Amino acid sequence: MRRRVVAVTFEGFQNLDLTGPADVFALASLIVGESRGYRLDVAAVRPGPVTAGNGVATLVPLALHQVTGPIDTLVVVGGLAVPAHVADGELVSGISRLAGIADRVSSVCNGALLLAEAGLLDGRRATTHWLTAQELGDRYPAVEVDADRIYIRDGNVWTSAGVTAGIDLALALVAEDHGHEIARHVARGLVVYLHRPGGQSQFSTPMRTAVPRNEPLRELQTFIDGNPTEDLSVPALARRAGMSERHFSRLFTEQTGVSPGRYVERSRADAARRLLERTGHPLDRVARESGLGAAETLYRVFRRHWRTAPGDYRRRFRSKQT
């Protein structure tokens, strides 16, 4: 039978969070037939034009309080405006009510913050855009946040990573409803991966750490990031900082939130990533120039931090000008 999807929007939402999943469900309906496909209803606190963050307006026909069951899947979209809407009691309570009558509940991008505010993620594993992951964990400690996953299912609650990950989420829902072969046909039609390689950390910016209060440590961070091929062992760094190894390790970890060894490895991995994006150097040269030494180490570090291989990363992200 036809499955009903209800998408919740608000002023300033991310347009692709809505249209990406909508196109997945629409194409799936063409493939399996309208009687077995999906019906999409879009709702907001009030009906009428709702303008996305990119300026495109969607004519929303339903107010949240007008939506009744049955609902197969509730989709809460995200967007840069989400932080301003977390305090909107009418929106959050509407999401909570609809979740109670939906078979499945899902969010795209930082729409997870709205699910969390409604108490729907308490005690569950969840993901969100990598830029929002720390905020989600800090504001809602009852949520177990995995910042690297493209999407996560915990019971009947599905959460997805940033923006285009809503397409991955919708494909996974189609696969659950109609099987992987149908989902594969939809993915091929939309020219996207059915299962995207790696996690979303491969798209993130370099590791962010707290800025040390201690000026020698701030200078040391700059030195580490600018000199990946130097001796960056704890003894060498402690000497440069003018501290004992024990005191240096304790102070660095305390003021940055990561150990010296962890910081050095990620800094070198970021240097390797930049070389992969901007040069055509062979992997052994990338490993040497980033301070990682050997191609085997480069591969291992890349898999650990970004869940993908260096060669795969280069194929997706290398600048065409290099």
What proportion of the chain, given as a percentage, has pLDDT over 90? 76
Mapped onto helix, strand or coil, the DSSP state of residue 54 is: coil
Against a cut of 0.85, is the pTM above it?
no
Closest CA to 128 of 163, 172, 81, 98: 163
pLDDT of residue 147: 84
Please name the residue ranges forming H helices in 245-282. 245-256, 260-278
Read off the pLDDT of residues 94-139 as tens digits, 9 standing for 90 and up.
999 999 999 999 999 999 999 999 999 999 999 999 889 989 999 9
Please, are residues 42 and 61 in contact by the beta-carbon 8 Å criterion?
yes
d(C-alpha 320, C-alpha 84), whole Å = 38
Q: Output the CATH code of domain 3-201.
A: 3.40.50.880
Place 322 in a pLDDT band, splitting at 50, 70 and 90. very low
DSSP bridge pairs for 107: 76, 159
Of 8-12, 16-20, 190-194, which range is least confident? 190-194
pLDDT of residue 23: 98
Read off the pLDDT of residues 217-231 as tens digits, 9 standing for 90 and up.
988 988 998 899 999
CA distances from 88 to 50, 62, 84, 100, 255 (A): 16, 18, 8, 19, 36
Please, are residues 195 and 307 in contact by the beta-carbon 8 Å criterion?
no
What proportion of the chain, given as a percentage, has pLDDT over 70? 95
**215-317: which CATH topology?**
Arc Repressor Mutant, subunit A (1.10.10)
Catalytic residue from among 77, 91, 109, 167: 109
DSSP secondary structure code for residue 291 in this structure: T
d(C-alpha 112, C-alpha 147), whole Å = 12
Read off the pLDDT of residues 279-320 as tens digits, 9 standing for 90 and up.
999 999 999 999 999 999 999 998 888 778 899 888 877 765
Respond yes or no: is residue 109 known to be catalytic.
yes
Average pLDDT, the chain: 92
pLDDT of residue 316: 78
Please, are residues 18 and 42 in contact by the beta-carbon 8 Å criterion?
yes
Please give the sequence-ordered ranges of beta strands (E in DSSP) within the chain, or none if there are none: 3-8, 38-44, 48-51, 57-60, 62-63, 71-76, 102-107, 125-126, 144-145, 151-154, 157-160
The residue ranges of every structural domain in the chain are 3-201, 215-317
Q: Is the pLDDT of residue 197 over 90?
A: no
CA distances from 39 to 22, 33, 56, 134 (A): 10, 12, 22, 35
d(C-alpha 287, C-alpha 282), whole Å = 9
Place 205 in a pLDDT band, splitting at 50, 70 and 90. low
pLDDT of residue 319: 63
CA distances from 56 to 45, 49, 218, 318 (A): 18, 10, 44, 31
Please, are residues 37 and 3 in contact by the beta-carbon 8 Å criterion?
yes
Hey, do 3-201 and 215-317 end up sharing a CATH topology, with the first three levels equal? no
Mapped onto helix, strand or coil, the DSSP state of residue 269 is: helix
Read off the pLDDT of residues 247-278 as tens digits, 9 standing for 90 and up.
999 999 999 888 999 999 989 998 998 899 88
pLDDT of residue 201: 62
